[in-house]
Amino acid sequence: VIQVDRRYRFSASHRLHVAALDEAQNDALFGKCNNPFGHGHNYEIEVSVAGPIDVRTGRAVDVNRLDSLVESAVVSRYDHRYLNEELPEFEHTVPTTENLGVQIRQRLQDGWDEAFPEGQPRLERIRIFETDRNIFEIAAYE
Amino acid sequence: VIQVDRRYRFSASHRLHVAALDEAQNDALFGKCNNPFGHGHNYEIEVSVAGPIDVRTGRAVDVNRLDSLVESAVVSRYDHRYLNEELPEFEHTVPTTENLGVQIRQRLQDGWDEAFPEGQPRLERIRIFETDRNIFEIAAYE
Amino acid sequence: VIQVDRRYRFSASHRLHVAALDEAQNDALFGKCNNPFGHGHNYEIEVSVAGPIDVRTGRAVDVNRLDSLVESAVVSRYDHRYLNEELPEFEHTVPTTENLGVQIRQRLQDGWDEAFPEGQPRLERIRIFETDRNIFEIAAYE
Amino acid sequence: VIQVDRRYRFSASHRLHVAALDEAQNDALFGKCNNPFGHGHNYEIEVSVAGPIDVRTGRAVDVNRLDSLVESAVVSRYDHRYLNEELPEFEHTVPTTENLGVQIRQRLQDGWDEAFPEGQPRLERIRIFETDRNIFEIAAYE
Amino acid sequence: VIQVDRRYRFSASHRLHVAALDEAQNDALFGKCNNPFGHGHNYEIEVSVAGPIDVRTGRAVDVNRLDSLVESAVVSRYDHRYLNEELPEFEHTVPTTENLGVQIRQRLQDGWDEAFPEGQPRLERIRIFETDRNIFEIAAYE
Amino acid sequence: VIQVDRRYRFSASHRLHVAALDEAQNDALFGKCNNPFGHGHNYEIEVSVAGPIDVRTGRAVDVNRLDSLVESAVVSRYDHRYLNEELPEFEHTVPTTENLGVQIRQRLQDGWDEAFPEGQPRLERIRIFETDRNIFEIAAYE
């Protein structure tokens, strides 16, 4: 069994704000990330999959299929978007990178069986680099 | 004479849109960067200054003063901002990274004499890394 | 549960030398790292914590508290120091990066309950990049 | 117990081609990686070992021995080579980075006891960066 | 006037060998880079262009046009190729990165007027990162 | 004419302190860099040379000779040293990175004619990365 990590990028903006809290509470929680007009990042995501090496092809994952899935389910959905205003999943949920990770995991899992009908490889985890010093990692199955 | 380059970071969002053009023209020019809600980047700026080495201190620039100037004139102004909506300089000017570079240069030049009253060092150029593959460089004096 | 990794930097110097060994043994063990006057590194540390996402705030860790703890317990202690001469913990212990990792883990654990009185998140591991090709990782709990 | 990761580099070329498949199948599987003359990469490998910290030396691994082993068993074998034509292990096995990882693991395991006769440290895993966006990780023991 | 640098990548392999020299001379000159089967790199190229900022669009270069030109004239030509065997320009010329730089410059200059019929921006220089420690820079006009 | 940049690394420590100044002045000038025991960095130096491409070899610089010169004149001299105490050139000169750059330039120029007796290539400039955010650049000839 080998794990393959592939990295993808998109640029987006978000605002950290919880409607149920007042201004002072939002400011205490999120500081300048609560700025009313949002701010942005170059997000980098790393998708890790694992599986046995196919003895015929020498590969553990069909990378074309993985790239297609990540592109259609994640990158094209979030690239160049203002997460708060344009994505229904963040209409009532604050688009922290934690919550973005949960969404990305769900979208990959939803498309997995169609992308990999033979059941291989397995999605292992997702990492999101909000900046190169601030990284979020979420396991595919807890 | 030695050149000293120091790098600083801020995260911001912008939308590339020209009011005088119609939707189709904006789309042709800017593509997904024209998205109505904007998108964001982790901007990295490199400020290059040059001057002779002070024989007493062994330094070509007082880095405390330079850091203070860049922080007050640039980073605190643009960090965690939506450039189009929050900065008067982009009310009628499209906040491309080219135009952002012109603004940053102007703001550093405006504060230079107060920060470095002895006239040293000289501002040489500004580089902005919009991403690590897309870089803009503007000379201080043309 | 999500894991959050945050990176911090400090510059320090150290000498790898064991008093109980003679000169030839120290040289065989440590080579040029045994140089009597020490040498230095730009250390980068990655602190990994994990916890459930707070449904109200969308966050797994209060990053302000984590940053404060790492700053006070680690960065301000080691930044711009000569580890062998200035830190009592290295008076009788050779300041290899392995031992530095043990110290950093201990100092974070000692301050954890005060920083996170609600018990969340959990410290998971510490990684130290002595250079970008030489990395040390220590689990919080073995 | 601490884990130590050390990175090494080599440049090589490979062609992804399976003799048992016809041209169309190879093209579907490997695309431009099937190009008949091969293509190349700057491979970076990360070797992770783990062990207790030696209380006398403050170290978990004798890095000189590890460097010697990786140099003789891996880097000198693959650096500046065309994997398909020059290495017997790839005469009948397609040199995907998955299979290269299996080979590297085997070669390190074969030389381990001689390099570390006292039994410490333990080889934990190998990571290969084919590019900085395409990474393969293989555990030493499954 | 502002300079815009954009980076592109391709993977290729090459062999440094001069037919007019004997084996010993080739070995003295090129060492392991003379290996008969070649070896490979992840090349990264940085294309720098300069021009005035268009007051209407806020841009100094139409990046879509630049990307198209670099893709068609350079990346698609060299990506996943063995330079010595597949490219006529290296049939009688050793494909050092110096010579590759000359070829890339020529191909960009040849396509420039068609890509930028209004005469803007100007090609300034090309940099090739053979590895991240070995970089070649060639001015567009000497 | 092509410019070739090659990067080299060494780890060293230094203390920024001017004997002719009192404690308060040193502190005002250098802050924590004035710490009495010094601190360290992973220095990275980039040596840039330029020359015409040799039509026979396809190269602008004999990299073996350049590597030998940099290794003997610079890296072996400064690697794993405490600059203030071990190098005579810093006995009366504060080892700021500016002054280190002047020394490195001088040492390369002193050895140049012996390393490159045919007069090619020309030393163009030296860059020192004290950290990846703090860079010093000095031209070979002013």
pLDDT given at position E119: 77
Q: What percentage of residues in chain F have a pLDDT greater than 90?
A: 96
The span from the CA of E122 to the CA of E125, in Å, is 9
| pLDDT digit string, tens, across residues B115-134 | 999 878 999 999 999 999 99
Query: F66 to each of A47, E31, F69, F78, F111, how far by Cα in Å?
Result: 41, 15, 5, 17, 10
For tokens 């405006």, the residue is B110
* D76 contacts: CB under 8 Å, gap ≥ 6: none
Residue A38 clears pLDDT 90, i.e. is over it: yes
Is there a cis peptide before residue E52, judged by omega within 30 degrees of 0? no
ipTM above 0.85, yes or no: yes
pLDDT given at position F119: 77
Residue C120 clears pLDDT 90, i.e. is over it: no
Residues of D in contact with A2 (CB under 8 A): 98, 101-102, 136-138
Residue D84 clears pLDDT 80, i.e. is over it: yes
Residue C124 annotated to the active site? no
Q: Helix or strand or coil: residue B64? A: helix
The span from the CA of E86 to the CA of D32, in Å, is 13
| DSSP class per residue in F85-103 | HH-GGGSSS---HHHHHHH
Nearest to B129 by CA among B95, B99, B102, B101: B101
Residue A109 clears pLDDT 90, i.e. is over it: yes
Please tell me which residue of chain F has the smallest CA distance to E31.
Answer: F64
Nearest to E37 by CA among D95, D8, D98, D74: D95
Q: Does F14 touch chain C (CB under 8 A)?
A: yes
The span from the CA of B124 to the CA of B97, in Å, is 18
Q: Helix or strand or coil: residue B102? A: helix
The span from the CA of B107 to the CA of B92, in Å, is 18
Q: Which entry of A44, A86, A89, A130 is annotated as an active-site residue? A: A130
Segment D14-23 shows an average pLDDT of 95
Segment F18-43 shows an average pLDDT of 94
For A21, half-sphere exposure in the C-beta direction (CA atoms, 13 angstrom radius) is 18
Q: What percentage of residues in chain A have a pLDDT greater than 70?
A: 99
| pLDDT digit string, tens, across residues E2-34 | 999 999 999 999 999 999 999 999 999 999 999
Residue D33 annotated to the active site? yes
Both structure tokens of F87: 């190098």
Q: Report whether F72 contacts F112 (CB < 8 A).
A: no
The span from the CA of D137 to the CA of D126, in Å, is 6
| DSSP class per residue in chain A | -EEEEEEEEEEEEE----TTS-HHHHHHHHGGGG-TT-EEEEEEEEEEEEEPPPTTT--SS-HHHHHHHHIIIIIHHHTTEEHHHH-GGGSSS---HHHHHHHHHHHHHHHHHHH-TT--SEEEEEEEEEETTEEEEEES--
| pLDDT digit string, tens, across residues C38-86 | 999 999 999 999 999 999 999 999 999 999 999 999 999 999 999 999 9
Per residue, the 3-state secondary structure of C23-76, as one string, reads HHHHHHHHHHHHCCCCEEEEEEEEEEEEECCCCCCCCCCCHHHHHHHHHHHHHH
The span from the CA of B77 to the CA of B99, in Å, is 15
Kindly report the CA angle at A55 between A51 and A57, in degrees rounded to 5?
90
| pLDDT digit string, tens, across residues F86-116 | 999 999 999 999 999 999 999 999 999 999 9
Please tell me which residue of chain D has the smallest CA distance to C126.
Answer: D2
Segment E90-102 shows an average pLDDT of 96
Residue C119 clears pLDDT 80, i.e. is over it: no
β-pair type (A2-14, D134-139): antiparallel
Surface of A (45-84) touching C: CB under 8 A = none
Residue B142 clears pLDDT 90, i.e. is over it: no
Query: C58 to each of A128, B123, C62, how far by Cα in Å?
Result: 15, 43, 10
Residues in chain B: 142
Cβ of D59 within 8 Å of Cβ of C102? The answer is no
Residues of F in contact with E15 (CB under 8 A): none
Query: B31 to each of C107, D21, D96, how far by Cα in Å?
Result: 50, 42, 37
Nearest to C94 among D6, D46, D57 (CB): D57
Chains contacting D (3 or more CB pairs within 8 Å): A, C, E
pLDDT given at position F118: 87
Cβ of A58 within 8 Å of Cβ of D96? The answer is yes
Segment F65-93 shows an average pLDDT of 97
In one letter, which amino acid is B35?
N
Both structure tokens of F50: 């330029």
| B97 — pLDDT class (breaks 50, 70, 90) | very high
| E120 — pLDDT class (breaks 50, 70, 90) | confident
| DSSP class per residue in F25-76 | HHHHHHGGGG-TT-EEEEEEEEEEEEEPPPTTT--SS-HHHHHHHHIIIIIH
